[in-house]
Structure 1
Amino acid sequence: MSLAESEQINAGRDQRGTGGVLLSVGLLVTVCVMPVFLVGGLGVQLRAELGLTEALLGAAASIFFAAGAVSARPFAAVTERVGPTIAMRSAALGSALCLFGLAAVPNAGWLLGVIALAGVTNSLCQPASNELLMRRVKPDRRGFAFAVKQAAIPAATLSAGLAVPAIALTIGWRWVFAIAGLLALLSAVCVPRLRWTRPKARVRNSGGSTGVLLTLLSIAAGFGAAAANAMGAFVTLTAVEVGYEEGNAGLMLALGSAAGLASRLGAGALADRRKPNLLRMVTTMVIVGSIGFLLLAFGQPVLFLVGLVLGFGFGWAWQGVFNFAVAARFPDRVATATAVTQTGVFIGGALGPIIFGVLASTQGVPAAWLSAFGMMALTAVALLLAGRR
């Protein structure tokens, strides 16, 4: 079934408008990435009770993304067989089980095991939600729709931050995971219905111009995610090193997150309004964002602030338009195509913070930021090459 035929058939099947669809998808993506961000946000409490060291905390994030990298492609095939509605509901239920499991873990070993399962669940959620957005959202709203989906990531980090004083320090950290599990169950109920016919066309990631294009896009996504995830993990540490107080360093992270959230939504709306060359738009955002990473390496408070806004506002905000570009290029096999690029994202997300941390501890934080700048430069090169295909 073509994308146009699917739109016509599903127009009357689920009476929810675009806003309802975006709300349900945003909630689902949030709860699917929430396990790894809640573990990070509750690191102090988990260290005190479970003995979760800083090294194990970093390992948890890497395991989450590595598990997603392994399972993204197989789950894309599952999505195309059963349809995005069943896949998304399965992802929501899986995330709920993982969150309830995290609420009951007896030690750090069990926590790492559950985090791995959560990464697998997230890898089912991502391509399935991309497929649903392309089928259920009108063409002139898809850019904003993908932006809202990607905005769920800073929403998850914000939720993790708020959960510490509101819940963890009052009734206990286990209740944070339990409440998040209930939200995951709610998201399963809210998934929009979609009549589904398995597509016949095939998308290959090896051989031919299509394979080269997807390979370049996956490489770009991997390097970009490596740099962006490193920024999210180490920006507060850098803020303290350049002279900001610890309390203000937290505000710097909040400022960067706000810039990233606003930029994601703004870029999506601009893509709908101006109908630009999407890959060229992503490349521009990456280049501007790379300047921000470079400024972070100078160790000056003012340059740090400017680099923070550019890094979060452009260097970590291009994923929504990027996913939209991939989906628009392969409209009849959205799940498979975005799973290929999502594999790159997961690999970069797993390796980026590790590489940054090793360089920061051995060569210094400025050298680590220069490496992140280099990753963003490689992202831009891969995107430029992909844009010529």
Structure 2
Amino acid sequence: MSAVRHWPGVVTASLTATATVMPGFAVGALAPSIEADLRISTTTVGLAMSAFYGATALGSPLAKRVAARLPIPVTLTAASVLSSATMLLAAQVTSAVALFAILLAGGLGNGLVQPAASRFIAERSPSRRRSLAAGMVGAATLVPGLLVAFVVQPYGWRAALMIAALLALVPAALAPLARGGPSARAARPLAALWGA
């Protein structure tokens, strides 16, 4: 298969990795509004964000094994839907406890997709373009910034999170483009894929 035909799947994997990490970035970007509305401290919001990334890290070993047994499109779809649900539910919270619980669940979804997306990108993108493909995930910081700039002031942080939740579903619709990716039988250590 030509390198050009790999790109739709590679872009889809990158978009999914972007969508699944977005809850953490979005809550951080919207923190001042969340703090004021829920009457919680900056420390509390920071700890809730830490819960998201902590769940990603601690859940990654198990998530990696689960993802290795699923077809790539299934993994990408499940992770996108979970990310969307995380932000949709976070937009409804009325307490810090609920925010913590929701971000913990979202962190596990982020842990599910990162190994699968990284492996797919490494195997399917041309070696000279791997940095570009992996760098697309950096768009995760762009979307929350745009939401703060254009949505929070007129509509509020809850509306901003709901829009982010809708955007997170885009990779789920594109997931079939990632067919034929690495499977459990083809899985190899990520370091080997990147030539380390």
Question: TM-score with structure 2 length normalisation?
Answer: 0.86
Distance 1:169 1:188, change over 3 A: same
User: Residue in 2 aligned with 1:160?
Assistant: 144
Matched to 2:153, the amino acid is L
2:172 corresponds to 1:188? yes
User: Residue in 2 aligned with 1:327?
Assistant: 193
Distance 1:143 1:104, change over 3 A: farther
Structure with greater Cα Rg: 1
Determine helix, strand or coil for the equivalent of 2:12. helix
Distance 1:101 1:62, change over 3 A: same
| Alignment counterpart, residue 31 of structure 1, candidates 8, 11, 19 | 19
| Alignment counterpart, residue 170 of structure 1, candidates 125, 143, 154 | 154
Once residues 197 and 110 of structure 1 are traced to their aligned partners in structure 2, the CA distance between those partners, rounded to angstroms, is 36
CA contact (8 A) 1:34 1:156 kept: yes
Question: TM-score with structure 1 length normalisation?
Answer: 0.46
Report the Cα offset of residue 176 of structure 1. 1.2
Distance 1:56 1:327, change over 3 A: farther
User: Residue in 1 aligned with 2:106?
Assistant: 118
Once residues 117 and 143 of structure 1 are traced to their aligned partners in structure 2, the CA distance between those partners, rounded to angstroms, is 35
User: Residue in 2 aligned with 1:86?
Assistant: 74
Number of residue pairs the alignment of both structures matches: 194
CA contact (8 A) 1:28 1:187 kept: yes
Once residues 37 and 195 of structure 1 are traced to their aligned partners in structure 2, the CA distance between those partners, rounded to angstroms, is 28
Matched to 1:328, the amino acid is W
Q: Give me the identity figure in percent.
A: 27
| Alignment counterpart, residue 132 of structure 1, candidates 91, 114, 120 | 120
Distance 1:92 1:142, change over 3 A: farther
Matched to 1:124, the amino acid is L
CA contact (8 A) 2:121 2:133 kept: no
| Alignment counterpart, residue 134 of structure 2, candidates 142, 149, 154 | 149
CA contact (8 A) 1:43 1:52 kept: no
Once residues 20 and 202 of structure 1 are traced to their aligned partners in structure 2, the CA distance between those partners, rounded to angstroms, is 22
CA deviations on 1:266-298 (whole Å, 9 max, x unpaired) are xxxxxxxxxxxxxxxxxxxxxxxxxxxxxxxxx
Report the Cα offset of residue 327 of structure 1. 2.7
User: Residue in 2 aligned with 1:227?
Assistant: none
Distance 1:125 1:199, change over 3 A: same
| Alignment counterpart, residue 184 of structure 2, candidates 186, 191, 198 | 198
Question: Within 5 A, what are the aligned runs for 1:200-279?
Answer: none
2:40 corresponds to 1:56? no
User: Residue in 2 aligned with 1:179?
Assistant: 163
Runs (5+) with no aligned partner, structure 2: none
CA contact (8 A) 2:19 2:168 kept: yes
CA contact (8 A) 2:16 2:171 kept: yes
CA contact (8 A) 1:130 1:327 kept: no
Report the Cα offset of residue 202 of structure 1. 7.8
Distance 1:202 1:132, change over 3 A: closer
User: Residue in 2 aligned with 1:239?
Assistant: none
Report the Cα offset of residue 39 of structure 1. 0.6
CA contact (8 A) 1:27 1:152 kept: yes
Distance 1:105 1:16, change over 3 A: farther
Distance 1:157 1:46, change over 3 A: same
Determine helix, strand or coil for the equivalent of 1:104. coil
Once residues 144 and 200 of structure 1 are traced to their aligned partners in structure 2, the CA distance between those partners, rounded to angstroms, is 22
CA contact (8 A) 1:85 1:193 kept: yes
Distance 1:50 1:201, change over 3 A: closer
CA RMSD in angstroms comes to 2.5
CA contact (8 A) 1:32 1:125 kept: yes
